[in-house]
Every structure is written in C-alpha cells, then in structure tokens.
Structure 1
C-alpha cells in the first residue's frame, strides 16, 4: 500500500495534469516494450519499434528494466509543455543525483555498462537525451493524439476528487490517500502539491518516484479507452463492461483490486464492502484460476493470476488498436502540460 500523508486540514493541494507526460510515457513504454505486460495486444507495436531501435535507444532501454527500480532522473518534474521541457530538465540533473540513482539501479539489477559510463562521465547525459528524443519520435509521437484521447475519459473527475480511472485502487482515510501498491510506502507531503498524471502505458497500479524529497507525483493507469475509429453506437463502451457483466460488478472490482496484491481487509476498505463478502468473491475467483492467495504469518495476500490479468486486459487493453492504427500524419505533436491545477 502506498500512502500519501496530507495535513489534518488537507491544505496541500492536489493537481491533475491534463495529459500524459512524455517523459513518463517514454519510460513506461520501454517497460512495456521489454516486458510481458499488455500481452499479445501490443505485439504489432513492439515488433515495429524493435525493428527500428538504434544502439542509443537500446542504451536508454538498459536503464529501464521492466520490473523494479528505474532511475528517477529519467522522469524529471518540470513545468511547461511537451517533450522539450522534459529533456531540458533531464540535462540539468545534478551530477550527484545521476550518480545516486544509477548506483541504486546497479545495486538492484546488477552491473550495466551504460549506467557505469554515465556515472563516470556526466556529459554522457547529452547522448541519453538524444536517445530519449529519438525513441519518442519512433515509438510515441506517431500515436500521441490517440494516446491522449484514450486517457481523456480516465482522467475525468471521479469519487473523492480523484480521476475516475483510479476506481477501487485508491481511497481517502482521513488525511491519508491510500493507493494499491505492491510495497509498503509512506510519503509525507509537508505542504507540497501532489500531482496526478494520467498514463497510457502505466500498467496494473499507479506508481511514483522513489526519492521522497522529489516533487510528489502519482502516475496512474488511465485505462478507460475511447471508442476506436470505425466503431459506433457505443460498441466499445459495451465491450468495456463485458467483464463486469460476466463476473458481476463487485467481483470484477475485487479482481482488479488484487492486481498489485491486496489482503482481504485492504480489498474490503477499497471497495467499501465487508470482509466476509470479499472472502466469498476471492474464493470464487481462486476456484476459477483468476486469483491466488498466499499466507505470510497472519496475513493472507490475494493476487490476480496471469489469466486474471489477461481477463482484465480484455477490459482495459481493447484500445491497443490505437498503436496498431496508421500513424498520424504531420509528424510529432506537442505533448501535454504537467502539473496544471485540478
């Protein structure tokens, strides 16, 4: 569970970015490119990007393993529009931060020639910035308008002042915002603004930076797709609710809430239902192979299986067509602004 601690009077503001952040989408799309998330729905996109990756792009990818830690400096917080501001902020990263982030990366994932070279030579950030720009132009720019449109519904205001895409994954508990997360983490805002950033490539659960001293940001999967081209009369909307009709609304929420792993009590609090009710749904999902449960001392943790995530993917990833559609004409488009007041 990830917990953001607000003051008792919640004087810290919450800002909602109006569009995906290009630097975060670069990082998270690399996770998708290199990992298994998204399943076969993204194979055409993966194949097209793989075929045109340059050595510089592969060097960038070596800093973005699909699981675990990726350097915070790859997703700098900056005020302003588009990719250019993000790259400028990347180039201004203090040498000490680059060194510390890369040391953490190496400690967790093992040695990396690229990481070691960046630690020894701060000027190598210039080549890394070029790789970011080139990769964005290859993998994201042709689809950016459709990516932005795909998350538009998910970033709309929902319950508790949070974007609707958060669904059961977050709740207020007094002055604490609790978010489903694979690890136990606490972030004290101490008067700082928490910025919520919608993402097309963020999968499974919201994520944040590791360093608690950096500007607080929460990047969340805005998994509410827009109707794809050629579909009419709400066909896509009906398909998005197919899982809920099949499993039942509450059971589908239980499965979704367990993607990152949750206890019975956490699911009960997230969904505002009783623990016995959660247990009944968990038993059914476990019997059908959509969920597993494991005990660690006195805690039982429920996790959606690969089959369960694929079933959720049928609900969330039916907008992979966005990456399969013909590229938008006119070249790269300007990406959105991060941190606009919400």
Structure 2
C-alpha cells in the first residue's frame, strides 16, 4: 500500500465489522476539548515559525482566556495542576479523556475521579518517563481525597471560565461537521467518509487501513470494536488517539475553522418561499418538530404541509420514533442553503 513516506504515521486497521461499527459524534467531547484547549494555551509561538499557524478564532480564544486567567487563583491552579498533566508532547494520560465526556462535562468528571488508582499510577509513570513528573501526581495515584477534589474542581472551574462561553458555537460547528460526514457516508459509503476526514488522510480500501500523519509511528487494531470519530474545535494539526489499546478506540481530529460560505437567506426565500426557507434552515440532523416550531413560529399544520413539500423534493428526510417526528436535511438541502 502507498503511504505517507518517511513521516511518522498512525495506522488504524479495520475489519468488516469495524467499518459497520464506525460512529460519528454529533456533539463535542467536553474533556477531549478541555485537554486539547490546554495544549492551545501552551503554544506560545505567534506566527511565522515552524508548524501550522492557529486559526484566527482560536488565537482570539487564547488571548481572551489568558486574560481571564491572569492574576486569578484559578490561573495559578491551571498552571500548577492542569498544565503539568497535559503537556504538549506525544503523550498525556488517557484517564483525563474518558468516553463519558461525550455525554457532557459532569459525566466525564465522574469517570475521571473514579479511575482506578492503579491506572492513574501507571499512566503518570508513563508521563514521567516522557515529559517529567507533575509535582502532585503521587497524591492522585494514591487516591488522596484532597488531590482528587482539587483536580475535579479545577477542571470544572476551568471549563466554566474558558470553554463554556464558546460552547454553543463549538456545538454548532460540530453539528455542521456531523452533517458533512453523514452526507458523505450516505452518498458514497464509509470508505469515502474516512478518506475525507482531513486533507492528509489516506484510506486504503484493499487493506482496510486508515493512515494519517502522527507525532510517532503508532498502530491501532480495532478487532471488531469499531471506531468513534470525534471532531474537536481545539485539536491542532494532527488527529489524536488513546494510547491504551484496551480502551474504546477513538480518533479525535481537528474541525475545519474556515468560515462557512455566506448564505443569502433572501435568495433562498425567493426560490422556495419564506416559510419553507425558514423550515429548511431550522432543520439540521434529527430535528424534532417542537424545535422547528420554536425556531420558526409556525403552526403544526403549516409545518406538516411545508415539510411534505421539502421531503418530496429530496431536501429533507422524515423519521418517526416513539410518537415523535424528526427531520434531517439531505445533502441536496445542505447544498441549497449554501452549507458544505
């Protein structure tokens, strides 16, 4: 199979079962984005130096966050207790990013703080080998209640200060990416979806291997467990994966920070009518009728009538479950409103 040449690379080996079990997260992962945001805070180079320049909106976030943390007790706690656990290197502990982070910050924190002490000790030993020992790591490994309380509180307070103000925009960007990938999956199949994660991603269909640049040579054997794809607003350059092969496999990859194409809502209204344009714009993925009512202000009978026209013209799809109706915009509907 053709490869990326001499550069270090990540290889993910799929079976047929893994392809069927590949999942795309429709929401951001609170703890993955939290940890990767700590990496963004530590990148001091402004521009013109080696490596890709951070997107403008990430640079603005970094400037604002550093200003919010400067001179505050939280800033010192982040510096002394979080940054040493998540250095910019080829490794940080897996226990900081459990799979429950996809369900929100609090479920993720609950899992972090209930991590077996043996696992914490093992991963902190690996961190010490690669980047040096964090000053308070031994207290975490022994399950010291004060250390665990300090970790949980600092993670929670940092999220509230640094990530929560941007979280609605991050969620919206993740939804857009989910729409993009599900559209490729529905139209061209899972191989095309994997090949289009990033411009540098290579999908080898004959070998069922996904290849991407990586800080070091690393191979993941999925062995029927499937793969969860997690778009991240803070991920920089290369994708990230868990080190421990026993954990549920994930691939965290950077969202596209290019501004979306401008949408002329008036032009869309002229084409399909103002009410249908409003309905089409209100629908994303599995949008329930109550949300469309709230966004558009139209009645149930109006929605039913206009949704039928949009559905019959392949602009949306309709599904029913447990007495509720859900609508999803099709790739053609996305193209019509100017989305990717």
5+ residue gaps in structure 2? Answer: 1-8, 45-51, 185-190, 266-340
Task: Give 3-state SS (helix, strand or coil) of 1:154's partner.
Answer: helix
Shift of residue 212, structure 1, vs aligned partner:
1.0
Residues 35 and 218 from structure 1, CA distance in 2 versus in 1: closer, same or farther, beyond 3 angstroms?
same
Which of 57, 62, 65 in structure 1 is aligned with 2:78? 57
CA distance in 2, matches of 1:25, 1:163: 23
Deviation of residue 33 (structure 1)? 0.6
The residue number in structure 2 matching 1:253 is none
Cα distance in structure 2, aligned partners of 1:5 and 1:163? 14
**Which protein is richer in helix relative to its size?**
2
Q: 2:203 maps to which residue?
A: 171
Q: Does 1:161 align with 2:182?
A: no
Once the two structures are TM-superposed, the CA of residue 148 in structure 1 deviates from its matched residue by 2.0
Q: Matched residue pairs, number?
A: 232
Find the aligned partners of 2:27 and 2:218 in 1 and give their Cα distance: 26
Q: Which residue of 2 aligns with 1:23?
A: 31
Specify the alignment match of 2:49 in structure 1.
none
Larger Rg: 2
Following superposition, the deviation at residue 119 of structure 1 comes to: 2.6
TM-score normalized by the length of structure 2:
0.62
Q: In structure 1, what is the Cα distance between the partners aligned to 2:128 and 2:99?
A: 23
Counterpart Cα distance in 1 of 2:111 and 2:17: 33
CA distance, structure 1, for counterparts of residue 66 and residue 225 of structure 2: 40
Cα RMSD (Å): 2.6
Distance between the aligned counterparts of 1:44 and 1:11, measured in 2?
A: 38
Maintained 8 Å contact 1:73/1:93: yes
In structure 1, the partner of 2:218 is 185
What is aligned with 1:66?
Answer: 88
| 1:178 alignment partner, SS class | strand
Shift of 1:12: 5.6
Q: In structure 2, do the counterparts of structure 1 residues 217 and 164 end up closer, same or farther at CA, with 3 Å as the change threshold?
A: same
Q: CA deviation at 1:178?
A: 2.0
Contact conserved, 2:117 with 2:143, CA < 8 A, in 1?
no
Runs of 5+ unmatched residues, structure 1? 235-342
Q: Is the Cα–Cα contact under 8 Å of residues 160 and 172 in structure 1 kept in the other structure?
A: no
TM-score in terms of structure 1 length = 0.61
Q: 1:122 to 1:209 in 2, by over 3 A?
A: farther
Deviations 1:286-305 (A, max 9, x none): xxxxxxxxxxxxxxxxxxxx
* Contact 2:25–2:228 (CA under 8 A) maintained in structure 1: yes
- Residue 75 (structure 1) aligned with residue 97 (structure 2): yes
In the other structure, the counterpart of 2:309 is: none
CA spacing shift, 1:38–1:137, aligned 2, 3 Å: farther
Is the CA contact (8 Å cut-off) linking 1:197 and 1:220 kept in structure 2?
yes
SS at match of 2:252: strand
- 1:136 to 2:159 alignment: yes
Distance of 2:20 and 2:101 partners within structure 1: 18
**Equivalent in the alignment of 1:14:** 22
Residues 171 and 163 from structure 1, CA distance in 2 versus in 1: closer, same or farther, beyond 3 angstroms? closer
Residue 146 of structure 1 aligns to a residue whose secondary structure is: helix
Structure-2 separation of matches of 1:30 and 1:80: 18
Other structure's SS at 1:179 match: strand
The Cα shift of 1:224 comes to 4.7
Deviations 1:267-323 (A, max 9, x none): xxxxxxxxxxxxxxxxxxxxxxxxxxxxxxxxxxxxxxxxxxxxxxxxxxxxxxxxx
Match of 1:98 among 98, 111, 120: 120
Distance 1:82 1:40, change over 3 A: closer
Match of 2:245 among 212, 223, 227: 212
